[in-house]
Structure 1
Amino acid sequence: MANIGNKLIKAIKDKGNTLENEMSFFEHLEALRWHLIRAALAVVIFASVAFAWYNEIFENIIMAPTHTTFWAYRMMCDMGELFQNLLPKLFSAKDFCVESIKVHLINTEMAGQFTLKINSSLMIGLVLGIPYLFWELWRFIKPALHEKERKAASGFVFYASLLFIVGVMFGYFIITPLSIRFLAGYTVSDTIQNLFDIDSYISSVATLTLATGVVFQLPILVYIVSSLGFLTPKLMRSSRRYAIVIILIIAAIVTPTPDALTMTVVAIPLLFLYELSIIVAGVVERRRRAKELAS
């Protein structure tokens, strides 16, 4: 009887521990849900502001890469003049200057322009709200970390947001105008006129900018994987040649243009990010070794 009683008490305790763990799991889910709700609310607020000021945003930001006065085209012209002054026999400023961009946009749906305004406003809200999303994720993860881990990862929100913003700016000011310039002027035959659907244009601009912002998170990803012990700087250095091939493939996917100039412009920052990631992995490895020696 005593054994049966002990087994019964043990079973009750085990059940209590199981219920406690389950409650803890659901409490974490509830906390995560509220963090995501606040992040979504921030996206909606930013999207509402973009919706209210949409006319100015559409003309001065969304359609800006189709104007020859855009920053990237002016820099290309300045570079052409510089190359012409340095090597006049090899380069001409006219080869770099963009004199015209023929982008003719059309709408083929009855409610197309209204849904365009809503969708592009939500996209702008998402871009502006991602740094806040990083902060909410950090608030969710922070309580589960030890004091040293909190100090080591204290700059997560800042660096992740900075890399994302730099990536978005690079995609918007460099990749997007180069892609638009190439695709708008590319024709198979003179009998075919390029008429672009407005949804196609918006999705191209959004994809190029967001994809570049995500790709620029490579150092953060390397930091996390290195902290788990799955990646070392030695492995990354020995895999550099394979990484270059992968980066070129990513550059080809991110940029819809097949010209070598655009792919090179995209690949160079990615190579820089890879080298930066090697440094990040080295810092993580040194910290791990120091921790092992201290213990």
Structure 2
Amino acid sequence: MPLVEHLRELRRRLVIAVVAILIGTIVGWIIYPSAFEFLKQPYVDGIAPLLERKGFEAELVLSGGVGSAFSFRLKFALVIGLVIAAPVWIGQIWRFVLPALHHNERRWAYLLTATGAPLFAAGVAAGYFVLPKGIEVLVSFAPESVNVLLTLGDYLNFVIRTVLVFGIAAQIPLVVVMLNRLGIVSGRQLASARPWTVIGIFVFAAVATPSTDPLTMLFLAVPMTVLYLVSEVIARVTDRRKAKATPEELSDDEASPL
């Protein structure tokens, strides 16, 4: 396909993706009230016990001017649209890339996609589950006589950052298995680097989680460690299969038989 045809194909894929996101945003605008209540629940569950002892109520405030309510609703609807339209725009990316892949590469691409989507969804669910605890810890630093009012924009950014960190962290097995399939790392190397990797995982969890409590860090670090160990086992199995497929390998300075 000439370059111009590639650009036309890319334009077509982008138009389909943008239309899907636009439709998802319209749906997000319609379901905004119920979706916002769902998003607000971790905030209420996280600080309600603390504020009840002070005699306050858990509240979220909106600041920034007359048009701030419209801007927030539009931003929230856009986030919902991106989530709803994710199968479409991700599928368009794949449809643009897949023709350039060989049959074996396509098979691995489908396998990685089918595995990565559930892992990402599980990570997002885990992030939403630990949100109340993280909010409770952060709010607990406020003095007893002070009511905590959080702006909607900051709260939305906090939620998005938390769930994305957990979702991306759940992709560790895919990254490790991919590096192993490409021959960059072996199962033996993963095992030797395990102590430093676990330390790095805990450091990443401590830095990436918005809250500062150790419980939220453990909620992220422990699953990441388990997933790394699982990927290490998969890499060892893959290395054994490679060794059986190629039982005799020559060194770099040894000539192969004609």
Structure with the larger RCO, 1 or 2 (CA within 8 Å, 6+ apart): 2
2:139 match: 184
1:272 paired residue among 223, 226, 251: 226
Which shifted more, 256-265 or 285-294? 285-294
Question: Contact 1:138–1:157 at 8 Å: present in 2 too?
Answer: no
Question: Contact 1:50–1:121 at 8 Å: present in 2 too?
Answer: yes
Alpha carbons of 1:26 and 1:253: their partners in 2 closer, same or farther (altered >3 Å)?
Answer: farther
TM-score by length of 2: 0.81
2:114 paired residue among 133, 158, 164: 158
2:208 match: 254
Following TM superposition, by how much is the alpha carbon of 1:218 offset from its aligned partner in structure 2, in angstroms?
1.8
The 5 Å alignment of 1:1-295 reads 24-25=2-3, 27-59=5-37, 61-68=38-45, 99=49, 103-110=58-65, 111-174=67-130, 176-187=131-142, 189-190=143-144, 192-286=146-240, 288-289=242-243, 292=246
Q: Which structure: larger Rg? A: 1
Alpha carbons of 1:45 and 1:233: their partners in 2 closer, same or farther (altered >3 Å)?
Answer: farther
Q: Distance in 1 between matches of 2:95 and 2:232?
A: 27
Following TM superposition, by how much is the alpha carbon of 1:136 offset from its aligned partner in structure 2, in angstroms?
2.9
Which shifted more, 147-156 or 247-256? 147-156
Alpha carbons of 1:154 and 1:108: their partners in 2 closer, same or farther (altered >3 Å)?
Answer: closer
- SS in structure 1 opposite 2:63? coil
Moved over 6 A (4+): none
RMSD value over aligned CA atoms?
A: 2.8
Alpha carbons of 1:164 and 1:180: their partners in 2 closer, same or farther (altered >3 Å)?
Answer: same
Which shifted more, 276-285 or 248-257? 276-285
Following TM superposition, by how much is the alpha carbon of 1:207 offset from its aligned partner in structure 2, in angstroms?
1.0
Alpha carbons of 1:195 and 1:99: their partners in 2 closer, same or farther (altered >3 Å)?
Answer: closer
Number of aligned positions between the proteins: 242
Q: Distance in 2 between matches of 1:34 and 1:265?
A: 42
Question: Contact 1:255–1:263 at 8 Å: present in 2 too?
Answer: yes
Structure 1, unpaired ranges of 5+: 1-22, 74-97
Question: Contact 2:170–2:227 at 8 Å: present in 1 too?
Answer: yes
Q: Distance in 1 between matches of 2:171 and 2:144?
A: 42
- SS in structure 1 opposite 2:85? helix
String of CA shifts for 1:27-82, please: whole Å, max 9, x gaps: 445434433443333232222211111111111x11111334xxxx8xxxxxxxxx
- SS in structure 2 opposite 1:137? helix
Which shifted more, 129-138 or 210-219? 129-138
